[in-house]
Structure 1
Amino acid sequence: MLRQFQDRSEAARNRVVIAATPMIAATFLPSIIQSYSDRYPDVQIVLRDMPFDMLLATISGGMADIGVTAIDGDYENIEFQPLAQEPIVLVVPAKHPLADQSHVTVEMILPYRMIFLDRYTNLREKLSGEFARFGAMLKTSTATTMPTLMGMLDTGSCVGFLPRSMAQINARESRVIVELAAFHATRNYGSVVSRRVVLSPAVQSFREHLHAEFEPLM
């Protein structure tokens, strides 16, 4: 019995459960996990992708050791360490009037409906403030997932704001990436852990590896 308990304890110490939002899980983490596993083959890595709110609950509840996400603001019992910042770009349908413009300003996008991922509240508030300077109201739609957002964008009924890497991954002949002049917004990526938990050596070493490898991939 004691031997079984010791074996389970050893396995837990050599296991890292990572929670990540879907885009990060699919785009950045595979190569980071692979390079970490090459260096530390005895550590078991478990990657779970999930929506942002579920990620925070999973970390707070101790069901994952570390989270990787973009985050705005402070959250109780969550410790955030920055990984990288990424600029937000405008994505428009290829046949949209803005697609061929070399210089796009906020004033030029005033007539169009915007679509955002639903948790980009800070970005919506910032853009709404910019619209207000011109006496205009921001017209918005939101989507929970990237496929839904892209499907709405492809109808031509709206234009969308996305982090540059996400926009590039989803770029194709029917979509064009546009950078706005005089409007700067970023997504702040980082690792999150529970303030109430003492990290194991395996989790600490993975976090160090993550912070060394993440930004060069952007």
Structure 2
Amino acid sequence: MDLQQMRYVVAVAETRNFTRAAERCSVVQSSLSHRIAALERELGVRLFARSSRRTELTSAGAAFVAAARECLAAAGRAAADAAAAAGAVRGRLAVGVIVTTAAVDVPELLQRYRARYPDVHVVLRSGRSDEMAAAIRRGELDIAFLGLPEDQRPAGVETVVLDHDAHVLVVPAGHRLAGASRVTLDEIAAETFVDFVAGTPARAQSDQAFAAAGLAREVAYEAGVVELIIRLIGRGLGVALLPSAFIRPLAAGDPGLALVPVVDGPHRIEYLAWGRFNPSPATQAMLDVLGVRRGTGTDG
């Protein structure tokens, strides 16, 4: 058994297709299939259930893939640590980002990072703050930019607060409140709302604010991406509460939207989060680029 065989098995598990796995691994399919078959003979178990239409992991395969991922990660970390000891930063950096990140210009940050550390392979992933914090704890992400309600903190990870922000009401330009200097939650509770999916931290920020005020509201449209939320508002289908630092630059170039401050509206905190146990050289390098000094993080 060797690392290449493990890479092949993981690739098939993730693509559920031998042809696509071979393309990902830059190898001919016959070679990949032969190596996996040899591994199955060595282990004495079948890793995949195959048919003409689909490929699925067996129970033995699922157990093997979980351990194989750990082995591959350990091997990658060993190579990265050896390179770092010789003065070079290499390896892989997995970065998580919420879609409404505003405290940091992530593309510009990645550009600076790549210029300084061209040998690091950066993988970017977007998602929910709670799921990305969990991914850091599992070792699937190295670092992430998160946004949470004021009364929540990422658990089990090192964090630095990047920004505090208040939500604003986003309405279509022709809305009755478009010219208001400010509003309260009570004044907008009867509106039809567009919001993020229920149960997500992005949605919780508004839900908790209305609940704390003893108010109910109707969320008629749920969306997982902010671009769709903005388009629905522009069509006059509803209003939304969104972080001001994120939405102001977008609204400035969109005459179809108007922003109104909310006196008692939701607030959020943007965090930088990373693993608290022995961050990789690539992660340490990213902290350096961000200007985060070692030991300044807090364990949430």
Q: TM-score range by the shorter chain?
A: 0.7 to 0.9
Structure-1 residue corresponding to 2:257? 175
Structure-2 residue corresponding to 1:144? 224
Structure-2 residue corresponding to 1:190? 271
CA distance in 2, matches of 1:203, 1:58: 15
- Aligned residue-pair number: 201
- 2:236 counterpart of 1:156: yes
Structure-2 residue corresponding to 1:66? 143
Structure 2 vs 1, CA of residues 103 and 164 (structure 1 numbering), >3 Å: closer, same or farther? closer
RMSD across aligned positions (CA): 2.9
Structure-2 residue corresponding to 1:97? 176
- Verify the 8 A CA contact 1:20 1:47 in the aligned structure 2: no
TM-score normalised by length of structure 2: 0.58
Structure-2 residue corresponding to 1:200? 280
- Verify the 8 A CA contact 1:33 1:45 in the aligned structure 2: no
Which fold has the larger relative contact order, with Cα–Cα distance below 8 Å and residues 6 or more apart in sequence? 1
Deviation string 1:118-167 (CA, Å, 9 cap, x unpaired) is 3221331112332x2xxx52222432211221233223232101111321
- Verify the 8 A CA contact 2:164 2:269 in the aligned structure 1: yes
In structure 1, runs of 5+ residues without a counterpart are 213-218
Structure 2 vs 1, CA of residues 8 and 41 (structure 1 numbering), >3 Å: closer, same or farther? closer
In structure 2, runs of 5+ residues without a counterpart are 1-74, 293-300
Alignment counterpart, residue 24 of structure 1, candidates 97, 101, 104: 101
SS at match of 1:156: coil
Structure 2 vs 1, CA of residues 149 and 11 (structure 1 numbering), >3 Å: closer, same or farther? farther
Structure-2 residue corresponding to 1:46? 122
Percentage of pairs with the same residue? 21
CA deviation after TM superposition for structure 1 residue 96, in Å: 0.5
